[in-house]
Structure 1
Amino acid sequence: MQRLRPRRPRRHLTALTAALALPLGLLAAGAGAGTAQAAALACSVDYKANDWGSGFTAELTLTNRGTAAINGWTLTYSYAGDQKLTNGWSGVWSQSGKNVTVTNAGWNGTIAAGAAVTAGGQFTYSGANTAPTNFAVNGTPCAGAHQPPVAVLTSPAAGAVYAQGDAVPLAATAAAADGATVDKVEFYSDTTLLGTDTTAPFTYSAAGLATGAHSLYAKAYDSQGASGESAPVGITVAAGPALVASPGQLAVRQGSTGTFDLKLSKAPAANVTVTVARTSGNTGLTASPATLTFTPANWNTAQKVTVTAAATGTGVAVFTASAPGHAKAEVQATQLAADSTYDARFLDLYGKITNPANGYFSPEGIPYHSVETLIVEAPDHGHETTSEAYSYLIWLQAMYGKITGDWTKFNGAWDIMEKFMIPTHADQPT
């Protein structure tokens, strides 16, 4: 089970990239000594395929790497297998044997220096579907592959909680391929650029983040102009010091126990005594110890709380951890029948899927189709990904409600879908 980051049987995503930036001087036909030389043409082609086993869509992004505009372009390449063109868009597509030709449409024939155009096609095939590499534009080869840089956000940890006003330490590693070097790393919260570092180790101290959920990531740029983003990390900025509980829910079968972790969001000036108590729900569930002590030295080391279920009874209880000067943390525990193996396994997996540290949801609660950050599932670039991810979310919360009797998460899933997936009347007036 898997960005929703569990995987259903689905068409597998294949992302294959071919790129080049090798300027090739072209002499005018019949040029001799003293004849002006034509502007050098340099190109790169980024190729991505979305493969579902018997067919695929191919997206080709042609970038003008030269210093002069390209006025009219014809892109050619060939497949090694029996790939057959069905249709294409954003260009005039044709195929002869294994060779594919794409000529510009009337509206995208001019590519300014440094600009790019994208065209796509749909194909059927059997056997292997190896990505092509022999691209050419107007007869000039776009040979040689250049992979984008790789960035990994190493700090903060996913699911971390910070107090408002405290700086969030951002750090990333980045590596470039094919002899390129990393020029800079940018740090983002959602779409907001927080800061930039041009030297390794790449770090930035983000102060002044607003309270609420933040999706942080790093974006690396290399010396050949390529860029690559890290996987996002979700954190929370609390209004002040807070208690942090993980997981936020757990299942305990009759006569058994389960545990959750507690720690503080920031170092205290003095010892902090945390009280853990059942604040609502099923009295057949109890928690121990009732108090925990955190010091300026161990505030970030998780301490375990054990929840014990009575031999009889079922139902949900909410346990609240509280401490002076700290925002509280709540954990929802569900007591299950002793023989409810399926229910217990479901809630165990549910806890993993909904744990912010595991990356299946954005900080706002938006579900990911899989943990990868780039998914192209259909020619319309995401419609199927979005609909299937939200369909899974509704099913997931419906099952949770059926097992626990708590339907608030199910209702919340509909609210999230209506807020983030369904366009408003202003965005879709017709």
Structure 2
Amino acid sequence: MHPPPRRRGGVRRLLAVAVTALALPLTMLSTGTTPARAAALQCSVDYKTNDWGSGFTTDLTVTNRGSDVIDGWALTYDYTGNQRLVNGWNGSWSQSGSTVTVKNAGHNGRIAAGAAVTTGAQFSYSGTNTAPTSFSVNGTACVGAHQPPIAVLTSPEAGSVYSQGETVPLEATAAAADQATITKVEFYDDTELLGTDTSAPFTLAVGGLAVGAHSLVAKAYDSLGASASSTPVGITVASGPAVVASPSQLGVKQGESGTFEVKLSKQPSEDVTVTTARASGNSGLSVSSGASLTFTPANWSTAQRVTVAADASGTGSAVFESSAPGHAKAPVTVTQLGATKSYEGRFLELYDKITDPAN
């Protein structure tokens, strides 16, 4: 007798089930059932600087204009000049050639929809400091759903000194993007609202500011609900006449020099001598010219220059004070920056030739 033939139907059915299971996702795709996809990243970047001629600080605000959370971000942009990174904060900053990259810090990596994070850095440069024109976050160009407006506080001039009780004239310009319109501009003294104007030119006359330093800001609102603040403008209200110095911060490279300007806040009745000296800080910085300047009733409002020289090895900041009898002092903070090493560029050039003979 021969054994009965082996039945293969059960095996075939198992194989058919397995093949059907493996093919199921393809079937779902072919019938139009697709898994949900994340919305495309949308962003905008607000770029602001505080420039003192040989260096600057920049504050960048990255806003999530999309509907999904940005969980971890890397911001990239390019300079067209010789701007070089000195240090950064609220992020991990690096530079390769003209390209700057900022990666989020541990505390600001998550940007909710409609929210924003701010990061900043200090750079040195010579020549022209042209602002970057485009930014990318995680490889996506920041075109955004709607760009915020731009506000600039055009009056008063930074570093201005006013006497107690004198009216301070505030004036701002504002522009909206994406065919929106500016609905109002608010004026602030630090966080205190001073007043609002709803039509251009945006102005406000403010009196009664307390004696001391003030940080003035204009904040613009547009018809699509976006808002943005101007770069703060610092002024001083003095109880009497004062020495005025501009800028209030200055960067000077090792072995080089930089200048700031001084003048008087009010016309004197007789000649006034303004003396400038280092009051504290880095001894590698010193006044090389303009230590003593004379102002007359005729030229009291014409600025004269003070030159600060940096030695070849010092680092850090120093405070210089310009003072005159019967006048409030004007402090200027000068920071000594590391000198650019001329051999670094040559070393990189030689390294490229060694590693890539085609060069």
TM range (shorter): 0.3 to 0.5
Please identify which structure carries the higher strand content: 2
Larger-gyration structure (1/2):
2
* TM-score calculated relative to the size of structure 2: 0.48
